[in-house]
Structure 1
Amino acid sequence: MANIDVQIACAADALPSEDQLQHWCKTALKAAGRDGALALRISDAKEIQTLNQQYRNKNNSTNVLSFPSDLPAELGLDELGDIIMCAEVIAREAVEQNKNADDHWAHMVIHGTLHLCGYDHIDDKEAEEMEALETQILATLGINNPYLA
């Protein structure tokens, strides 16, 4: 069974509940056929900007960063990695994109979780595959396709 460590590291308003965050992660893991442990950290803009600069050489805040575990498979540990999400950016995007805030949070949690499962969007084929799975997972949660907006 998935073990999800939720960390709230900011003082944001209107965050999803820990139960919601865990449910969205577990739903994505199940759809991807994966199980294991991960950390989901809700941060502020400063923290995610620092991480984005350090690891992606991009000096701006972003909505979500995923850091897949690099532990050797021989250890037999099921550590998937870490997801860092910026509450400020996600809230702002929901308003700018005219999306329900919880729906956008669900999408970003699912997106970050799928990255830990090996999905990516570097090229068009990978992006189409990842977006199709995200859309399918969101539909099971009663959330409309976010890419049609």
Structure 2
Amino acid sequence: MISFNYENNFKLTNELKISNWLSTVINAENCKEDEINYVFCDDTYLHKLNIEFLNHDTLTDIISFDYSVGKTLQGDIFISTERVEENAIDFSVPFVEELNRVLVHGILHFCGYKDKTEADALLMRDKENYYLKTLV
């Protein structure tokens, strides 16, 4: 089950559509969906988590805590809507496109994809682009 939680004034207007899309991604990656919680927040909230849990004193758009067991996906994905908005401006894309990229990015991490090396980041970006095209 995918759930959406809000720690700021942001609210998805199409929760069911996004949830169904992400479930389709999970199935396409031959994984099983368990409890996945998205938490939308601001930079301050996410920065605090980044320092406390990852010892990173930087702003980020997403932090995922993966509690998956094998191919059964579960975990918490925190997204700073402020950072997504800034990134959308920096990349000259609509906010909703950048938000959807970050949403699927978190799921892909749970599916086992990494992005620390250049090769891994390229594969992750290819997967994001592929799945973004399936969101109709």
Task: Note whether the superposition's TM-score is higher than 0.5.
Answer: yes
> Residues 2 and 38 of structure 2 are in contact (CA less than 8 Å); yes or no, is this contact kept in structure 1?
yes
Q: Among residues 12, 15, 18, which one is paired with 1:18 in the alignment?
A: 15
> Residues 31 and 73 of structure 2 are in contact (CA less than 8 Å); yes or no, is this contact kept in structure 1?
no
Larger Rg computed on CA atoms: 1
Kindly tell me: are residues 87 and 35 of structure 1, through their superposed partners in 2, closer, same or farther at Cα, counting changes over 3 Å? same
- What is the distance in 2 between the residues matched to 1:137 and 1:56? 28
- What is the distance in 2 between the residues matched to 1:20 and 1:45? 26
- What is the distance in 2 between the residues matched to 1:58 and 1:134? 25
- What is the distance in 2 between the residues matched to 1:136 and 1:90? 20
What is the TM-score when the length of structure 2 is the normalising length?
Answer: 0.85
Residue 63 of structure 1: aligned partner:
61
In the TM superposition, 1:31-46 aligns within 5 A as: 31-37=28-34, 38-46=36-44
- What is the distance in 2 between the residues matched to 1:108 and 1:10? 17
Residue 4 of structure 1: aligned partner:
2
Worse-superposed segment, 37-46 or 22-31: 22-31
- Shift, 1:17, TM fit: 3.0
- What is the distance in 2 between the residues matched to 1:60 and 1:124? 21
Residue 120 of structure 2: aligned partner:
126
Gaps of 5+ in 2: none
- Shift, 1:26, TM fit: 1.9
**Residues matched between the structures, number:** 135
- Shift, 1:96, TM fit: 2.4
Kindly tell me: are residues 16 and 118 of structure 1, through their superposed partners in 2, closer, same or farther at Cα, counting changes over 3 Å? farther
- What is the distance in 2 between the residues matched to 1:120 and 1:100? 25
What is the TM-score when the length of structure 1 is the normalising length?
Answer: 0.78
Kindly tell me: are residues 114 and 23 of structure 1, through their superposed partners in 2, closer, same or farther at Cα, counting changes over 3 Å? same
- Shift, 1:22, TM fit: 1.4
**Superposed CA RMSD:** 2.2
Q: Secondary structure at the match of 2:32?
A: coil
Residue 133 of structure 2: aligned partner:
139
% identical equivalent positions: 23
Residue 91 of structure 1: aligned partner:
85
- What is the distance in 1 between the residues matched to 2:30 and 2:128? 14
1:16-70 deviations in Å (ceiling 9; x for gaps):
5322431342233133221222111111111100111122222122111111106
